Amino acid sequence: MAHRTPPQSCVQLLCVCVAAAFLTGCGSEGRRHVLIRAQPRSVRPTAHVWQYLYRYGGEQSGYGTYSYVLVGRDENDETASSLYLELVKAIRGSTASAEDVAGHVPRAQLNVFLIPATGDREAESHEPDYELSKLLLASLSAASPLTFSRPGPYMITLYKPISFGQGDEVANILYFDFTNMPPAAIPEIVRTYKEHILDEDLDGIEKLRSLRLSLLKIALVAEDSIGFAQVAYAALRSAFSG
């Protein structure tokens, strides 16, 4: 039997179907790539730096998290001021300065420890700014359910600087109170705190529980030494500016 050639119309139809399937596949693949690219990618801090804070609102924008290093008493309280200096020493001794890291690591990947200090960036030496520190703690107490009435010192961590939040944004606050803490325990507590700030999100109760359990393993930490709260940024700005 002679072999019959398929009608030209059938060949054309087959080519159209193959082309349509190819284009559909390419279109679907293209849409999948677009969806992937369009999804925002959250950046969690992967390292720490420290920086002096000379005035309210003087923080630089763009860091992943902000950890304020504060104390509720001045140099007249020898115990509190001594602990504060030990805390600052432990942070600076184990952490790079923000100026040294600038340009090498994106700020979004860093947690910055903010240390209130007198003078300005050009000063040869820096002393603790106890007045700014006490003002920050008093304003936090006024704007949140937390009461920072103890001498401290404290480490208080937020996702944004206190003065930067907009509108109805809510500040998630995580704090550690070093009041009456043995000085020898401070370096290990700082190390553990730094590890957990990087390892987990700050906006869940599991974060607080995990951090508390880790710290309880290395020091006699009272349960009320670690706290977590939420407060509107608008309330923080109002309290600080007031």
So what's the pLDDT on residue 88? 97
Using an 8 Å Cβ cutoff, are 182 and 199 in contact? no
Which DSSP state fits 6?
P
Give every residue of the chain whose pLDDT is below 70, as ranges: 1-44, 163-167, 200-205, 207-208, 219-220, 236-242
Using an 8 Å Cβ cutoff, are 143 and 236 in contact? yes
- Backbone torsions φ then ψ of 240, nearest 5 degrees: -70, -40
So what's the pLDDT on residue 216? 73
Counting the structural domains of the chain, the total is 2
So what's the pLDDT on residue 30? 38
* Beta-strand pair 170-177/226-232: antiparallel
So what's the pLDDT on residue 203? 57
Domain with 170 in it: 47-241
Q: Are residues 28 and 52 in the same domain?
A: no
In a domain? residue 1: no
So what's the pLDDT on residue 241? 54
Q: Which helix (H) or strand (E) holds 46?
A: none
So what's the pLDDT on residue 240? 56
Q: Are residues 141 and 162 in the same domain?
A: yes
In a domain? residue 5: no
Q: Residue 45, Cβ neighbours under 10 Å: how many? A: 23
Q: Are residues 117 and 148 in the same domain?
A: yes
Q: Residue 62, Cβ neighbours under 10 Å: how many? A: 11
Q: Are residues 201 and 164 in the same domain?
A: yes
Tally of CA atoms within 13 A in the half-sphere of 51 that contains its CB? 23
For tokens 């001498």, the residue is 151
End-to-end CA distance of the chain: 101
Q: Are residues 111 and 208 in the same domain?
A: yes
Q: Are residues 27 and 70 in the same domain?
A: no
In a domain? residue 76: yes
- At 152 the three-state DSSP class reads coil
Structure tokens at 215: 């710290």
Which DSSP state fits 201?
-
Q: Are residues 155 and 177 in the same domain?
A: yes
So what's the pLDDT on residue 114? 97
